[in-house]
Structure 1
Amino acid sequence: MSRTSAADSIPPLVTMDRVLDAQAIFRSPATIFPLLPVEIIDNVCQRLAMRDITRVVRANSVLNAVGTRRLYHTIGAEFFPIRLLRCLISLDHSKDLPLLVRTLDINMINNSPTRGFYVLLERVLKKMVNLTTLVIELPKRHSPTWALPMPQPALSKSHIFRLRSFTTSMHCKPPLAHFLDSQPEITELTLRGINSDSSNPLFPFITTLFHSVGALPPDNPLVSSLSPQPSPFALLPTSLPKLSHFNAIHAGPTIIRDIITARPVTHMSIPLFPPHTMETLSALSLASKPLTRLSVMSFDPTAPHFLFSELSARFPELEALHIVVLMAEVTAPMLLGWGEYLVGFKRLRYITFMAALCGDDHVDGEETVKEEIDEKKIAKVWHASCPTLKTIILPQGKVWFEGTNTDEDESNGEGDWKCLNWDEE
């Protein structure tokens, strides 16, 4: 009986070319070759939990290569600090593993990282040349911008990563601006850092917060050795040419203006602080493209009285608008009256307005119950002013959407608006 050749033992649908390619890739003879393309295996691994991927990498050489790539694709998300530290140390000791990382999420807000941790982070970031998403959330007083890799004159820009998404709590000061100048591929930027100088709209809030616990606010110009007038946060005119999404969590109008001026920003999330509300709204108009999605967190008690009229006049191309008012109460007549300002929106499809309700109270037994407003009526009035609306969320938290055209309510031109009641499911 003749001995079976290696070629005869190849499973169906696996060609000799694929065998040779696989052996070349893994540099050693393999005994198992996948019937599925590597791309399909990689897609399956993307859907596995971390604990399952660790089992996959021990199966065979093919799955080890694919699984390892997925295992190190995203680092830090939902990691406890100890595990994150061990992972960074492991990456620092490896030459090849940092090249696999595409997303790094550092969340140390509730911890107190040491300088040694930031030195380690600096070394690892320099090795992650393929990184595309970076999230760095740190305690308010920590802003180690020196840990961010910057291109050196003697080195090619290929020696540092080129981010597409960047989120940080570092302070909006010149070092951070210089880093952003070196990242032309960023399309999504989130700045959470608080600029705690006296010109920042959050300064009174920060001072109250820190003094209540017997501490001093960071960079307080009254006690700090730093200059009372810090250097401006200014980007080069050529920086961030692809920026389309910008989230300014604590920034005032100056930072917002510097970031979005002449840049194609279409999605924005901003805070409104008195007395800079109108200045902030004016800054939003400086982008090179019309704003299509806007989220507003208002701390201005007077904002509800003019917010809808200002937004509809300034941004008629909005498709989605989300407003949260924290320092004021609204009533049903106010909500009904604001419907007239929605006429200015030409493409608005989704709107959310959340605020504390100030309605009439009545006594039910021994309890005082706040009377619910007729949100369905409000939804109809808003839709009558803005026919493009498809979904409306009002202060009671109910989701209102436009129903079919078969019901009787359609005959009056107001549309059939229904409520998505989660309690009934």
Structure 2
Amino acid sequence: MDTSLAQVRRTLPVEVLELICQDIEQNDFPPVLRANSTLYSIAVRVLYRNIPQLPVARSIAFLKAMDRNTTLTTFVHDLFVDWSSYHVTGNLLRLLRRVLRQLKNLRFLSIELSPRDNLASHAWIFVDGPYKLRTFATSTRCDNALAHVLEQQPLIYELSLRGFQTNLPFRLSSTALPRLNSFRCTHADTSVITEVIRGRPVEGISISLFADEGFEPLDTLRLTSTPLKRLTLMALDEIPATKILTQVAMRASQLEALHIVVLLSHYTSEGLMEAGPMLSSFKELRYITVMGGLGVDLTNDQQIAKEWHKHCKTLKTIILPKGQVWFERDGEWGCCL
């Protein structure tokens, strides 16, 4: 075995060996790491490059290993931490902060804490991080402490804020997040959405609609510095598709993709047919999804797809509440289950 490994080391370039290691399952890494020094140096970089969502015990063990061996921290590019089902202690948060302050090559960071933990501000765990993030997702509540962290990350391209809404101030300077392209939020109100996307080159947005705000959050869609191309809307309360489409068209008729999910909505064929004329305001729409959480009563999905395409000729893909994907090919609409 040692002879064959030595031959592999001599005949294959390091780049090829790294590509091979990238296809190895995580559980199969131990024998590769023990094979020889060359394979170890390659495999350890691949193993620690992307740290996926781990069970809480393994997640803590990983952080402790990083805290003891700071050499390993230079390999980490992507890190997922999900403690949403647990109440996190102060010692564990301080451990996480110590590790984050060592991750100089980190590019993707996702930190999910429980709603109970987010009653207090935990943005301090991100302060003074040496990394320059491209993607950042967190459930930490939106306050000025988190805004300060975002001010220090000018390379963020994708941002996801999942923290629960508060009445605390959240202010970003006009120079923050200059490269932001995609923004997703779950519980934030209009003021937070405005602070994040105003004057920034955001092309994709995912926001939630709440009964007490009505369609006010949609007014923020006009604030981006570049035309909005992708929009995802989540709503809990029942809202007819015709009403949503009308409100969106008034503010973002240049969309290329629109996805609507209304959890307490029950769609019917008649209601969706009536929504067809509302699509005539969209001049560049190619993809549309309309989903509901209370079941559907559709008798002819293909007819609905044809009706929508009649009013919006740019449509290429339509996903209706049953989950069926309708697409145009050679002038006909077919279904992909």
Return the TM-score normalized by structure 1: 0.74
Q: Identity percentage over the alignment?
A: 40
* C-alpha distance after superposition, 1:348-386 (max 9, x if no partner): 111110125787xxxxxxxxxxx5421110000001111
Alignment of 1:69-218 (within 5 A): 69-75=45-51, 77-143=52-118, 144-150=122-128, 160-197=130-167
Letter in 2 for 1:41: L
C-alpha distance in 1 between matches for 2:246 and 2:278: 5
Unaligned runs of 5+ in 2: 1-5
Give the CA deviation at 1:69. 0.2
* Structure 1 match to 2:275: 338
Letter in 2 for 1:145: A
Query: 1:239 is matched with which residue?
Result: 176
**TM alignment of 1:248-287, pairs within 5 A:** 248-287=185-224
Kept after mapping to 2: 8 A contact 1:357/1:395: no
Alignment partners' CA distance in 2, 1:259 and 1:335: 33
Task: Pick from 4, 7, 18 the counterpart of residue 42 of structure 1.
Answer: 18
SS in 2 for 1:96: helix
TM-superposed deviation, 1:300: 4.0
> Which residue identity does 1:49 align to in structure 2?
E
- The letter for the 1-side match of 2:163 is G
Larger radius of gyration: 1
Equivalent residues of 1:54, 1:71 under 8 A apart: no
Name the amino acid aligned to 1:187. Y
1:317 Cα deviation after fit: 2.0
Give the 4+ runs in structure 1 shifted more than 4 A.
356-359
Tell me the CA shift for residue 48 of structure 1: 1.5
> What's the offset of the Cα at 1:81?
0.9
- Paired with 2:186 and 2:319, the residues of 1 have a C-alpha distance of 22
Shift of 1:309: 1.4
Q: What is the SS of the residue equivalent to 1:65?
A: helix
How many Å separate the matches in 2 of 1:387 and 1:237? 38
Q: Deviations over 1:359-418 (max 9, x none)?
A: 7xxxxxxxxxxx5421110000001111111111111221111133xxxxxxxxxx4111
Question: 1:104: how far off?
Answer: 1.1
- In the alignment, structure 1 segments of 5+ residues that lack a partner are 1-29, 152-159, 198-229, 360-370, 405-414
Q: State the partner residue of 1:420.
A: 336
- More displaced 10-residue stretch of structure 1: 244-253 or 40-49: 40-49
1:147 counterpart letter in structure 2: I
Write the deviation string for residues 68-108 of structure 1: whole angstroms up to 9, x where unpaired: 00111122x23111111111111101131111111111100
The alignment yields a C-alpha RMSD, in angstroms, of 2.0
Q: 1:316 to 1:34 in 2, by over 3 A?
A: farther
User: Greater share of helix residues, 1 or 2?
Assistant: 2
SS of residue matched to 2:11: coil
Distance 1:185 1:53 in 2: 32
